[in-house]
A and B are shown apart, each in its own frame.
Chain A
Amino acid sequence: MNALLWLGVAASVGGLVGVLAARGAGWTVRAIALLGGSTAAALSVVAFIPPAPDVDLETRTPEMGPSGGFASSDTCRACHPGQYESWHDSFHRTMTQVATAETVVADFDGRVVEGYGLAARVFRDGEQYLVDFGPAVDGEPGPNDASLPEGPRRVVMLTGSHNMQAFWMTAADGKLEQLPFVWLIEEERWIANDNSFLQPPADEPADPAIWGDGCVYCHATGGPWDSEFVGLNGDTAVVELGIACERCHGPAEEHVLANSSPARRYALHLAGEGDPTIINPKRLDHVRSAALCGHCHTACEEAVDNDEDFFAGDLLSDHLDFDAMHAMAAEASDVVDPDDLDDDVRDVVEAFWRDGRARVAGREYDSMTLSGCYLEGEMSCTSCHRVHGGDPNGQVAHDSTDRSMCASCHQSYFAAVEAHTHHPAQSAGSDCRNCHMPHTSYGLLSATRSHRMASPGATGLGGRETPNACNLCHLDQSVAWTAETLEDWYGIESEALPEDRAELPAGVVWMLRGDPVQRAIAGWHYGWAPSREASELGVVRPAFGVLLADPYSTVRQIAGRIAVEHEGMTIDMDALAAEPQEALMRELRDPDPSVPVETLRRLLNERIAVPASIPE
């Protein structure tokens, strides 16, 4: 109404000006001046009319804004423009966003996406992103469960902006529920949400994730801590979506108020001291500093008695019981079928290898805090990572190399690198991380580095055993070869190895006989540049081909992606199913394999049957 009023006023004034300007001219000129003046004035007002707020979107997304001592990142910008900008470039900021044309990268182009017995048409209507689970395919009823509501449902929020985007839509009861399909950003395709997790094949989709039930805390700022909280949209109020300034610096309202006084600010500048009204991770000891990242990058959900909200600067061990978590993981590490465990125990057990390293990406704190560098030294997450000034991919400091990161304590090794590594100085074998932080965690259809800094060992031949760093690069060599080499070079003695597979190429053993996580990680390493350089790939190729028909969708997708990229194969990734991929495997078959076919078959028949479920 206001806009119409302004439009009318502007048109009238514009017309009047036009008429006055044409004073004395003929009637035709005056009429043209009146019309021209009105139109010009009206158009200039239209240009300044702000778009109408999307009330529907606002009511369906969590209530946002400063509260509970939080001030929001917009407030921080005025005084810390550089830090604001570097954070703004990070994937932490875009962890969760309202679904708009600027934030959605997925194709909502009217296509029907299918998977796990579900079908949905994803499309746009103006600024709205919509999903229709109803009869959608050429007017024929879709395969959906009858319980799914018919009619379009609006996608209001999304999580993820780096590897994949997951979407949130309003359920019938008002909860924010995850769309059962995700968009792979690099590959530009939709897959079923369940296919993005490493989990056993199933006929039906898992229950959808609910935003207020465990997701909100680590995907937004100022949300509720209690993962049992089930919120309706509106009462999962957050300060802002995504990981913002106050996740690491603590609630800033007091800081903002105190520093509205220039005298106080300049007194602090002159004194060169920290401001006690805000947390600066640089000024924390390494334990409290690591806790800032750790309260999300952990698998621990075992609250101690004092389970008040964690805030930046707190000791995480005051809130979470890590001893209980590691004990739980160790006790249950021999369990044959994790399905027999309670959900809570199962989640913890699935998160770790037998030696206590996290095997799930995003749980880096749990591994790092078991490292000597942390326990005996002062290493923290910020020793290598920078939220401000780091590369958004991995947040590693721009000026960091593996050597600069490790040399602060381990300078002696760098004086004679090759004497320590027995690899050429500039090779991947002399990169500290490749031996001490191999890619042994699974997440987001990829392998990521272990954050438990440790010396390599001849491990990985049993179920839930961490694949060792040497053989992840030398896929064609056996674990026995690794044991001998480690003893020869470093005097490291290995435990007795299982005779039936110790002498076989480790990559082949992991790909055929390994548990699902070992297969995913070994498959990923088949495409990793240093492994491809160090290994005779022909030895491993036949086993790699088997991964294209792995029962686990994520293993197939990892293998498929690598086969397309490195083997030059043409694969319809959407059609890659857990059935013998004869045509594809034939391309990778070796008529005279280094490992006899009978041995390959035996390993496949002995495949570790313990299922794995990693929803990451």
Chain B
Amino acid sequence: MSGNDPKVSAERRVPDEVRFHLRLGWWSLLLFACLGLTLEAMHGFKVDWYLNVASETRRLMFRLAHAHGTLLALLHVAFGATLAVAKPTGRARRVASRALIAAGLLLPAGFLLGGFGAIGGDPGMGIGLVPLGALCLLTALFTVGWSLRPPTPAPEVKG
């Protein structure tokens, strides 16, 4: 069985991860493009719940959810490509992957929930997810950046 072959599974693990982020990215892109279309439709049909002056905060939150969701979808695609090309180290790869997945969920979800529960000029309680998501995103970005640093040259052995 090739699955039990440590050499083969080590080679396939990377492509799986790449494929996972690419799939997640493209599907997310579709999802958030649909959200964008929905927001545009609400403009088109002059939906009071969305366009009312009192819904200013809700409108902002939904736009932020759309923008962050789309951006994070693209980041998943970029991360997948990075994994394929640059092959970061194992630990950094795992941390960045998990942090990016968490950010991709928390940031748009936080803005969406904040929009649904908006109270006057304040977003709903769901907005609390956003700082967590932002932390995850920063972690992912830092980890990827760090993992791609040039390798330290091995010290020369004299004599």
A residues within 8 Å of B by Cβ? 78-85, 262, 265-266, 269-270
Contact = CB atoms under 8 A, between A and B. Distances in A.
B53 A266 contact: no
B122 A265 contact: yes
A323 to B, nearest CB: 41
Given A85-B53, A85-B54, A80 B121 contact: yes
B122 A266 contact: yes
Contacts of B122: 79, 262, 265-266, 269
Interface in B54-79: 54-57
B81 interface: no
A269 B119 CA distance: 8
A380 B120 CA distance: 25
Nearest to A262: B122
A84 B52 CA distance: 12
A85 B57 CA distance: 14
A278 to B, nearest CB: 12
Given A82-B54, A82-B120, A270-B125, 15 more contacts: A79-B121, A79-B122, A81-B54, A81-B56, A81-B57, A81-B120, A81-B121, A82-B52, A83-B54, A83-B120, A85-B53, A85-B54, A262-B122, A266-B125, A269-B122
Interface in B35-61: 52-57
Interface string B118-144: 011110010000000000000000000
Q: Chain B: interface secondary structure?
A: helix
Contacts of B121: 78-81
Contacts of B53: 81-82, 84-85
Contacts of B57: 81
Contacts, number: 31
A108 B125 CA distance: 54
B33 to A, nearest CB: 28
* Residue from the set B55, B57, B119, B120 with the largest chain A CB neighbour count within 10 Å: B120
Contacts of A81: 53-54, 56-57, 120-121
A355 B52 CA distance: 47
A79 B122 CA distance: 7
A269 B117 CA distance: 11
A209 B126 CA distance: 55
Nearest to A85: B53
The 4 residue pairs across chains A and B that have the minimum distance between CB atoms: A82-B54, A79-B121, A85-B53, A81-B56
A274 to B, nearest CB: 13
Contacts of B54: 81-83, 85
Contacts of B119: 269
Contacts of A79: 120-122
A290 to B, nearest CB: 25
A81 B119 CA distance: 11
Interface in B104-123: 119-122
Contacts of A83: 54, 120
A576 B52 CA distance: 48
B121 to A, nearest CB: 3
A265 B119 CA distance: 10
Contacts of B52: 82
Nearest to A76: B121
B122 to A, nearest CB: 6
Given A85-B53, A85-B54, A80 B120 contact: yes
Interface in B16-30: none
A82 to B, nearest CB: 3
Nearest to B54: A82
A497 B91 CA distance: 102
Contacts of A78: 121
A348 B19 CA distance: 85
Contacts of B125: 266, 269-270
A83 B120 CA distance: 9
A266 B123 CA distance: 10
A265 B125 CA distance: 11
A84 B122 CA distance: 15
Contacts of A265: 122
A263 to B, nearest CB: 11
A270 B119 CA distance: 11
Nearest to A389: B54
Contacts of A80: 120-121
A79 to B, nearest CB: 3
* Residue from the set B56, B120, B121 with the largest chain A CB neighbour count within 10 Å: B121
Contacts of A269: 119, 122, 125
23 contacts: A78-B121, A79-B120, A79-B121, A79-B122, A80-B120, A81-B53, A81-B56, A81-B57, A81-B120, A82-B52, A82-B53, A82-B54, A82-B55, A82-B56, A82-B120, A83-B120, A85-B53, A85-B54, A265-B122, A266-B122, A266-B125, A269-B122, A269-B125
Nearest to B128: A266
A82 B55 CA distance: 7
Nearest to B125: A266
A85 B51 CA distance: 13
B48 to A, nearest CB: 12
Contacts of B55: 82
A73 to B, nearest CB: 14
Contacts of A82: 52-56, 120
Nearest to A388: B54
B60 to A, nearest CB: 10
Contacts of A270: 125
Nearest to B117: A269
Nearest to B124: A269
A84 B120 CA distance: 11
A79 B57 CA distance: 9
Contacts of A266: 122, 125
B129 to A, nearest CB: 14
* Residue from the set B54, B55, B56, B119 with the largest chain A CB neighbour count within 10 Å: B54
Nearest to B56: A81
Nearest to A80: B120
Nearest to A78: B121
A383 to B, nearest CB: 23
A497 B53 CA distance: 57
A331 B54 CA distance: 51
Contacts of A85: 53-54
Contacts of A84: 53
A178 to B, nearest CB: 35
A83 B52 CA distance: 11
